[in-house]
């Protein structure tokens, strides 16, 4: 068995730092437009307004707890690109709603909507250099961010409302017998909807909450520094779940020890573990296992997986929740058909089987 490296893994150099810079500039423009009083009003309103119900406050934590208790397996958080198919956004959230609903009805424990800029960066990383050189130029950064922000919040709101109104899910605070009469399983509940973006300011969390979201992925300790625990605690005060992403055990200890007390950490979700021995199978999994093994009581980890094998490794490492990335979904649907025409129920069963492997 590989020993966990004690050195800090390198961050994948993909345009992640550039993306953070672009997001910070966009947020700064928004803050300037709001002014100090406007910002204070927005944040106070977010703190005072109850979370969308269903699914209610801290819906991700509740869903994870239910999965661990009832199934003895990690929760599966399945990604859905807001920029469906990589094409023009067009302002129509219907395809995203349809995809999220299909996954939720097939058993996804939560839906993770991937912001357009994040999805575009992933596609750029996987494309060849030649393709990148011949690709058509994109819109200006400012136009991108403004269009992305509007489309992202519109999709988040539409998906959250659609799942909350779906009779196949039990209302979080409603009458269970009424839900059963409507055709819902008594054990199912409204899945939380999370946003995966680069999270750099509490104002973004206020927007997520206003759009009916249950939390966000993309707050990174490597970027936020000492502000990371502050941002996640602000999210918690709003009733949201905002994991703080870490890349090594040292960052994890700083986030969870002492007065910080971050209740959820994320590993390999937005910041890939890219270590010097990554060519050796299981190396990244060993690093993740080292991080998870040091988490204090009451703290759980959300781990990203890009293949069925990675799903199984995350489960063995002790992940309480696994983010099923697009690559892992493609891996799961391959036996059933094409990515566009696949048996979603069978693919979810493949993922559940992988996540249940414990030895």
Candidate ranges 88-92, 127-131, 242-246, 332-336; pick with highest mean pLDDT: 242-246
Average pLDDT over residues 317-343: 78
Mean pLDDT computed over 159-177: 74
pLDDT score at 237: 95
Among the listed residues 122, 197, 198, 112, the one whose alpha carbon sits nearest the alpha carbon of residue 160: 112
Q: Angle 227-237/202-210 helices, nearest 10 degrees?
A: 20
Interior/surface letters 176-193, b for 16+ CB within 10 angstroms, e for the rest = eeebeeeebeeeebbbbb
Q: Which of 89-103, 148-162, 307-321 comes out lowest in average pLDDT?
A: 89-103
Residues 6+ apart with CB under 8 A from 159: 80, 93, 96, 97, 100, 101, 111, 113, 193
In tens, the pLDDT along 260-269 reads: 788 999 998 9
User: Among 158, 180, 159, 160, which residue's Cα sits nearest to residue 169?
Assistant: 180
7/5 Cα distance (integer angstroms) = 5
Give the pLDDT of residue 118. 87
Given this model, what pLDDT does residue 275 score?
38
Q: Is the pLDDT of residue 272 over 90?
A: no
User: What are the extents of the domains in the chain?
Assistant: 13-128+139-355
Lowest mean pLDDT among 53-67, 169-183, 218-232: 169-183
pLDDT at site 278 = 38
Give the lowest-confidence range in 10-14, 324-328, 329-333. Answer: 10-14
As a whole number of angstroms, the distance between CA 219 and CA 271 comes to: 10
* Of residues 282 and 182, more confidently modeled: 282
CA distance 151 to 164: 20
User: What's the mean pLDDT when you consider all of the chain?
Assistant: 79
> How confident is the model over 186-204, as a mean pLDDT?
88
Between 24 and 3, the higher pLDDT residue:
24
pLDDT band at 338 (very low <50, low <70, confident <90, very high): low
Q: What are the tens digits of pLDDT across the range 11-55?
A: 333 345 556 778 888 899 999 999 999 999 999 999 999 998 889
- The domain 13-128+139-355 is placed in CATH, from the list 2.60.40.10, 3.40.50.300, 3.20.20.70, 3.30.1490.20, at 3.20.20.70
Higher pLDDT, 73 or 171: 73
């Amino acid at each position: 068995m590989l020993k966990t490296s004690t050195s800090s893994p390198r961050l994948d150099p993909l345009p992640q730092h550039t993306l953070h810079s672009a997001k910070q500039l966009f947020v700064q423009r928004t803050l300037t437009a709001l002014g100090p009083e406007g910002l204070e009003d927005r944040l106070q309103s977010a703190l005072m307004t109850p979370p969308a119900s269903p699914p209610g406050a801290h819906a991700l934590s509740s869903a994870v707890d239910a999965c661990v208790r009832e199934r003895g397996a990690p929760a599966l958080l399945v990604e859905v690109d807001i920029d469906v198919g990589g094409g023009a956004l067009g302002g129509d959230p219907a395809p995203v709603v349809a995809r999220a609903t299909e996954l939720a009805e097939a058993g996804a424990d939560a839906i993770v909507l991937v912001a357009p800029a994040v999805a575009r960066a992933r596609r750029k990383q996987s494309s060849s250099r030649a393709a990148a050189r011949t690709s058509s130029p994109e819109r200006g950064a400012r136009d991108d961010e403004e269009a992305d922000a509007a489309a992202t919040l519109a999709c988040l709101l539409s998906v959250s409302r659609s799942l909350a109104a779906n009779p196949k899910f039990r209302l979080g605070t409603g009458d269970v017998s009424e839900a059963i009469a409507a055709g819902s399983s008594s054990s199912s509940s409204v899945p939380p909807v999370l946003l995966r973006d680069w999270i750099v300011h509490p104002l973004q969390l206020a927007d997520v909450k206003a759009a009916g979201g249950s939390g966000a992925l993309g707050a990174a300790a490597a970027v936020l520094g000492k502000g990371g625990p502050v941002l996640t605690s602000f999210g918690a005060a709003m009733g949201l779940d905002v994991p703080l992403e870490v890349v090594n055990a040292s960052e994890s200890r700083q986030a969870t020890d002492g007065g910080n007390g971050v209740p959820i950490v994320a590993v390999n979700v937005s910041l890939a573990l890219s270590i010097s021995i990554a060519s050796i199978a299981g190396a990244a999994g060993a690093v993740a296992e080292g991080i998870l093994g040091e988490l204090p009581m009451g703290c759980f980890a959300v781990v990203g997986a890009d293949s069925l094998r990675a799903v199984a490794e995350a489960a063995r490492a002790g992940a309480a929740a696994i983010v099923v990335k697009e690559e892992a979904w493609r891996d799961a649907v391959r036996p059933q058909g094409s990515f566009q025409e696949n048996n979603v129920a069978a693919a979810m069963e493949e993922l559940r089987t992988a996540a249940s492997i414990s030895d």
